[in-house]
Chain A
Amino acid sequence: MSLCLRCKGLFGHGAVGMERFRVDGFDEFVAARWSALLHVARLLTGGDRQRAEDLVQEALVKLWFVWPRVAEQAPEAYVRQVLVRMAARSARRRWWGERPVGELPDRAGPGDVSSAVAERSRLEAALALLPPRQRAAVVLRYCEDLPEGQVAQALGCPVGTARSHASRGVARLRQILSDTVRPVG
């Protein structure tokens, strides 16, 4: 059923093509997990929202092509693994640092300066200072609450290496956040 729908969408355009691209359960999964995936991607990118959206979309596009195989198993684990690898890959690209835009992005107004926003900004700034693999290990271990085996699987490394990445990442975050808090305190 899903394969036939995908074949119909070969030359689809616009809304009609979008209807033809629909597969069973894919839209429901995306709608249910979009916010969580975007949050993980934002932490993985060190707070870059635009880049996080790009990463989530690319991961979901990849998921669509393997959806018949992974739909009954663990689609979120697949997306998480793709996100981690793409975030590590995109972090090596220097052109992610600055992007020319036609209009200046919205800056935080006086009303946005709240404790939650400040805390999020502080966390994202600290995560951005970590190496990509340490950042991914910390996010998956403490945000997604994954066991070390699944963290290692997502990183594509042995369990000991994943544990080492998480431990070093936490130690680095402890140092960064304490340095950040100290002048304030």
Chain B
Amino acid sequence: MDDFERELTRMMRDTRQPAPFRSEHQERLYEGIRVRRRVRLLWRAGGSALAVAGLSVGLALLPGAGSRSLPADRRPLPATSPTPPPVSPEPTTSAPDADPSVSWPPTDTPGTTDAGTTSPGYGGTPTSLPPTSTPDTTRRATTAPPPTAPPSTSPARGPSASAGEESAGSG
């Protein structure tokens, strides 16, 4: 520390003026404390209100966003999916006379069903038979088939039609 620095130190300390802490200083100080305390309380209250408002808005928007995004998030099923789509109930559970494609057991009585389906050794399904316009002639033709005729050609030829032609030509 040189002479100038010592002189500087002396000047700074000697120029100090006595300043007592008076009552007006004290009142002003506590007024400042009170104002600052209120400002801090207001800031805290404002911050809390802002936080609550933000949370409320967030919670209000969250369920709405979830319900809106549900159909969009769900991907459509592919046209040919590896897993079968949900199907109708089993054929055995449905009514027997409601579904025409159901194969009936062979224990049924011949009078209630077609004769072609009940002939022994044939094993055909009713779907393979063409619809006939005259059930009575069909019943007669199918109940007495020629023994040498193959069963696969009889539905294609139409036994009732051939019988009609023969009867018309003969008569």
Q: Do A and B bind each other?
A: yes
Q: Hey, which bits of chain A sit against chain B, CB under 8 A?
A: 9-10, 12-13, 17-18, 21, 27, 30-31, 34-36, 38-39, 43, 53, 57-58, 60-61, 64-65, 116, 119-120, 123-124, 138-139, 142-143, 145, 170, 173-174
CB distance from A47 to the nearest CB of B (A): 10
How many residues in B have their beta carbons less than 8 Å from beta carbons of A? Answer: 28
Is the pair B15, A34 in contact by a Cβ cutoff of 8 Å?
A: no
Listed from nearest, the 6 A-B pairs whose CB atoms lie closest are A120-B15, A34-B21, A143-B12, A18-B30, A39-B16, A31-B21
Give the chain B neighbours of A36 by CB distance below 8 A. 16
Instruction: Please judge, given known A-B contacts A39-B16, A143-B9, whether A21 and B33 are in contact too, CB under 8 Å.
Output: yes
CB distance from B18 to the nearest CB of A (A): 6
Nearest-neighbour CB distance to chain B for A174, whole angstroms, equals 5
Q: Tell me, in angstroms, the Cα distance from A10 to B41 when the chains sit together.
A: 9
Q: Is B19 an interface residue (CB 8 A)?
A: yes
B residues near A123, Cβ cutoff 8 Å: 11-12, 15
Q: Does B25 contact A (CB under 8 A)?
A: yes
B32–chain A nearest beta-carbon distance, Å: 5
Query: Given contacts A57-B28, A143-B9, are A116 and B15 in contact (CB under 8 A)?
Result: yes
Q: Contacts of B32 on A, CB cut-off 8 Å? A: 57-58, 61
Are A170 and B5 in contact, CB atoms less than 8 angstroms apart?
yes
A43 to B26, CA, bound (A): 22
Q: How far is the CA of A107 from the CA of B26 in the complex (A)?
A: 27
Q: List 20 A-B contacts (CB under 8 A).
A: A10-B37, A13-B34, A21-B30, A21-B33, A30-B21, A34-B25, A39-B16, A39-B17, A57-B28, A57-B29, A58-B32, A60-B29, A61-B36, A65-B33, A119-B14, A123-B11, A142-B8, A142-B9, A143-B12, A170-B8
